[in-house]
Amino acid sequence: MTDLTASDTEADDAADARAVRQQVLAFGQGPAPPGSSGVGTTTPAAAAVAETSFSAVDEIRGRASTTFRPTTLEQQIHNAIGHPDHQGKDAQCILECAQQARETRFRAAHPILRGAFDFGFHIRGLSVMHFAHESRISTMEASGAVVNMTDFSRKNGLQPAAAEPSYTGLLEALTSLRHFGRKFYNAATVDVLNAAITFIEEFADGGDPDRETTKRLLLWINMKLGKFRGLVISVGLAAAVRVTDEFTLQDSLLSELLYNLQKAKLDKLTAMIEAQQHPSPKVRSKGKEHQLAKLTGRIPKSVARGLPKQGSQQLCLKHLSKMGCSGNGTPGQCFAKGRAHFRPTALSSEAKDHIKQHFGGLAPEFADL
C-alpha cells in the first residue's frame, strides 16, 4: 500500500467539492417547466444553503493537512475492535471525542490516539506506557513541552514511551488503558486488556518484581497486544480473542525472556561464589603471611615495607609498644639487627594494628602517633 501524494489529496478534495455542489443543486432546484432541459431555477433558500456548503468545503480543505485519514486496513481493524457507538462515524470525529472524553486519563496526544485507533502496539510503535496516567502535577511540568494537540495527521509523529517503568507504573498504565478502552473498544477487545491486567497483578503475589523483570513484562505485553492486532487482520476478532489464554507463566515467549534474565543473574552469582571459594594466589599468600606472623610474632612483609627508616635501619615496632624492646640488655639498642629505636614522624595504621595485636598497643609516649 503506497502513501497518497499531494496531487491525490488535492484531487480528492476537488471531488468532494463537486459532490457537495451537485447535492445542493439537486436539493434546491424546483420542478422544471415543460419543454425545458429538466433543470429548474435555484431558489434563494437553496442559494443560501449552497453558499454555506461551499464554505464548509473550504473549511474541510483547510483542515485536510491536519486531519486523520486512516488507511483502508486501519479502518477495517477499528471496525472490528471499536466500540459499537463508533460504527459509521468519521475517524477524525472519533479521535476528537476520545481526546475530550472523561475516560481519557493519559496525555491524549494525537499520535497516541491514532495508534489506539487500530491497536498499533509493539511493531507499529504504540506502547502500554503511552497510556500512563498523567497527574495534574505532571501536566503542569509538561505544559512547557512543545506538543501539537491539534494536528491528527501522520506528520505529527509518535514519541517513545518509558521503556523501563516500575512495576507500579506498568500496572497503572494498563489500568488507564483499560479505563479508556471501555468507551473506545468493544467488549471482546477489553477482555484482552483484562487478561493482561489480571496476569500482572497475580505475577506480583510474591512481591513487586524489579525493574529488569518489569522491563521484560512490558515488552511481552506489547508483543501480545500486537499479536492480537495481527490475528484480527488474518483470522478475525473471534479467533484473535484467544490471545487471552496466552497470558500465563507457561507462555513460551515469557519463559524465554525471564530465563535469559535469570541466567544472567545466576552467572553473576556463580562467579561471586567461585571468587570467594578460590581466592587469587596473591590473596592466599597474603593471608598465609598474616597467619604466620600471628603465630611467630614476625612482622608481615606488607607491614614492614611501610615502616620508617633511620639510615639503613628500619624502625623497631616493639620499641614503640607498651611491652618495649630490651635490646638484649643494651639500652637504646634493638635485639634485632637492621632495626633501630627512634621516634618516627608518622606511623601507618597497619603498623599500629600490629603493635596492638602483638605488643599490647602503643606506649603512652607514642600514643599521639
Chain Cα centroid distance, residue 49:
53
List phi, psi (to 5°) of 321: -90, 170
Residue 221 half-sphere exposure toward CB, CA atoms < 13 A:
27
- HEC profile of 151-195: CCCCCCCCCCCCCCCCHHHHHHHHHHHHHHHHHHECHHHHHHHHH
Interhelix angle 91-100/110-117, rounded to 10 degrees, is: 120
- pLDDT of the residue at 194: 97
pTM: predicted TM-score of the whole model, two decimal places? 0.55
Find, among 77, 147, 142, 62, the residue nearest to 111 by Cα: 147
Cell of 286: 597474603
CB atoms near residue 228 (< 10 Å): 24
Find, among 215, 214, 242, the residue nearest to 227 by Cα: 242
Identity (one letter) of the amino acid at 231?
Answer: L
Going residue by residue through the chain (369 aa), what tens digit of pLDDT does each one get?
Answer: 444 444 454 555 555 555 545 544 544 444 444 444 444 444 455 555 455 554 555 555 455 667 888 999 999 999 999 999 999 999 989 998 988 877 777 777 878 999 999 999 999 999 999 999 876 555 545 544 555 556 566 666 678 888 889 999 999 999 999 999 999 999 999 999 999 999 999 998 778 889 999 999 999 999 999 999 999 999 999 999 999 999 999 999 999 999 888 887 777 777 777 777 666 555 455 555 444 444 334 677 778 888 888 888 888 888 888 888 877 667 778 877 788 888 988 888 888 988 888 888 898 888 888
Local structure of residue 332 (DSSP, 8 states): T
List, edge to edge, every strand of the sheet that includes 339-340: 309-310, 313-315, 339-340
Residues 6+ apart with CB under 8 A from 75: 91
Coil vs helix vs strand at 82: strand
- pLDDT of the residue at 42: 45
Cell of 186: 468493544
User: Rounded to whole angstroms, what are the CA distances from 349 to 156, 291, 292, 307?
Assistant: 66, 18, 20, 11
Cell of 334: 634493638
